Amino acid sequence: MDSLTQIVLGAAIGEAVLGRKIGNKAMLYGAIGGTIPDLDIISSFFTDTVTALEIHRGFTHSILFCVVFAPIFAFIVAKFETYKNKKDWSLLFFWTFITHPILDAQTTWGTQLFWPLDIRLAFKNVFVIDPLYTLPFLFFLILAMRQKKESKKRRFYNNCGLIISSCYLLFTLILKGISYQTFTKELASQNIQYQEITTKPSPLNTVLWTANVKTDTSFLIGHSSFLDKNAIQFSSYPKNHHLLGELANHPKVKRMIAISKGWYTINKKENILYFNDLRFGTLGMELNATNFVFKYKIEVDKNGIPFFIEEPKDKTDGKKMLSELWLRIKGN
């Protein structure tokens, strides 16, 4: 999830663990603890694109990291804070660390909670930024921090934020199930044969859902709003995996394919190959849009080693997507 959401969640967890004893400092350290797992993004400054993608939401989002580093941070904080109970500080950091990847596991990218095992949990029931999750949570957190640490209202407000946000996540799983049934019925009615289907919410909401559908030679992407009245239209994208040629056997390309879980297409423009990660869709709602959210140029150095360069996103695409998104949410 986005940084603000993780800060809010971490602060609420910190309050639940230590708020009665240290007041707003529990929220402060909870917010810090809630952001620490995302420090793995620093790897992008020191490694190639493929390695950075592998590291992202890996070790720092694992149970192992939570168990090992919670007491370390507790030891450091207890050194200069007046409250010295290392066990309590360890609990605060453990719970703020562990809830971070659990929340991230609800998104499309997922997390390697069981690192070093190569298992990435991705339930795909919320978008990485979801105002309906974050804003009510933030509202109750602000109410809580305005109360004295001994106040029953403080605990009530904080618990309300935790309960409402958690119930919302459960509700999105129900919505995901309904959207899945909608997509599979539509595929059947259109006599589309497919191998696999995954669904996820579109940006900033859980009313409009997107399906990625794998067929023999192509991928289909369709959008379905709970306000739709007409049939779903699917965009088709040829796999074009053959365009990789011998590069398909290179370890780095194989790693990139593994990162995408096989949901990728290849296209060629002006003799340059591009790797499109379809899991995150396109920056547009129109049929057969090609402005993929994550698109990588494949270049080969003088030693024949391929490397991937992420294509920069056009700000105008983002603005256009938001306007199209609002119209599409209201139904087709």
The reported pLDDT for the residue numbered 304 is: 87
**Mean pLDDT, residues 185-190:** 97
Q: What is the pLDDT of residues 234-245, one digit of tens each?
A: 999 999 999 999
- For residues 242 and 217, the answer to whether their CB atoms sit within 8 Å is no
Average pLDDT over residues 67-71: 98
Q: What is the radius of gyration, based on Cα positions, of the chain?
A: 22
User: What is the per-residue pLDDT for 313?
Assistant: 85
Q: Which two tokens stand for residue 237?
A: 């994208």
Q: 132-146, 154-168, 294-308 — which is least confidently predicted?
A: 294-308
Which pLDDT value is given to residue 3?
Answer: 94
Q: Parse the chain into domains and list their residue ranges.
A: 3-172, 190-332
What pLDDT is recorded for position 216?
94
- How high is the pLDDT of residue 152? 95
Question: For residue 285, what pLDDT band results from cuts at 50, 70 and 90?
Answer: confident
Name the band, by pLDDT with cuts 50, 70 and 90, for residue 182. very high
Which residue spans within the chain are E strands per DSSP?
196-201, 208-214, 218-225, 234-238, 264-269, 272-282, 292-300, 306-310
Cα–Cα distance measured from residue 59 to residue 64, given in angstroms and rounded to the nearest whole number: 8
Q: Are the C-beta atoms of 219 and 263 separated by less than 8 Å?
A: yes
Q: What is the mean pLDDT of the chain?
A: 95
- Confidence band for 49, pLDDT divided at 50, 70 and 90: very high
Which residues are within 8 A (CB) of 261 and not within 5 positions of it... i.e. 6 or more apart?
279
> What span, in angstroms and rounded, lies between the C-alpha atoms of 224 and 231?
9
What are the residues facing 265 on neighbouring strands? 276
Of the pLDDT bands very low, low, confident and very high (cuts 50, 70, 90), residue 318 is confident
Average pLDDT rounded to a whole number, residues 104-123:
94
Q: Which of 88 and 118 is assigned the larger pLDDT? A: 88
- Whether the predicted pLDDT of 118 surpasses 90: no
Residue 315: pLDDT band (50, 70, 90) is confident
Q: What is the pLDDT of residues 201-224, one digit of tens each?
A: 999 999 999 999 999 999 999 999
What number of other Cβ atoms are within 10 A of residue 303's Cβ?
A: 5
Counts for the chain of helices (H) and strands (E), in that order: 9, 8
Q: What is the pLDDT of residue 292?
A: 93
Does pLDDT of 320 surpass 90? no
User: What is the distance between the alpha carbons of residues 314 and 190, in angstroms, rounded to a whole number?
Assistant: 35
